[in-house]
Amino acid sequence: SVSTLHSDLLKAWNGVPAGITESSLNRIDPNGIPVVDFERSSRNNATSTRFLLDGSYFVIKNIALNYAIPHSLVKRLDLSDVGLTFSVENLATFTSLKGMNPQQSFAGTSDNVLVTARVFSLGVNIKL
């Protein structure tokens, strides 16, 4: 769906690019605008690097923090051990791909796929 595209892509062709003439290859429509055809990849000039993007990315995937309550406090509660755990998954993704999730399979359109969920977890471990 075109509505799911990043705003940079939606406004990418606002006029005829420099060097495009009437005798240029059929990458342009009758109005002189280069064609990005999301339905048929054969029209995207596969040998060109025009639409090639750097797909590198860095993800902070998992962070876990554990804290053991001091035994002096735990003994007052008549327990042998108490621990707290906090974790987060998919904290951040750093990429130059605007509006796209670099971890998903990408064939030229986002297909309304949701971004990878960020999950926060909090736990308590009590030993009697």
The model's pLDDT over 6-46, given as tens digits with 9 standing for 90+, comes to: 666 666 666 666 666 666 654 555 565 555 656 665 555 54
Same domain, 13 and 61: no
Query: What pLDDT digit, counting tens, does each position of 45-70 carry?
Result: 545 666 677 888 999 999 999 999 99
The position carrying tokens 């971004």 is 115
Domain range spanning residue 22? 1-52
Is the predicted pLDDT of residue 80 greater than 50, yes or no?
yes
Q: Which residue has the tokens 């048929």?
A: 40
| 3-state per-residue secondary structure call for the chain | CHHHCCHHHHCCCCCCCCCCCCCCCCCECCCCCECCCCCCHHHHCCCCCCCCCCCCEEEEEEEEEEEECCHHHHHHCCCCEEEEEEEEEEEEEEECCCCCCCCCCCCCCCCCCCCCCCEEEEEEEEEC
Decide which of 52, 67, 84 is a domain's last residue.
Answer: 52
Tokens in use for 124?
A: 């308590």
- Whether residues 97 and 126 share a domain: the answer is yes
Q: State if pTM tops 0.75.
A: no
Q: Let me know whether 74 and 111 are in one domain.
A: yes
pLDDT at 1 > cutoff 50: no
Averaging pLDDT over each range in 28-37, 96-105, 108-117, which range is the top one?
96-105
94/116 same-domain check:
yes
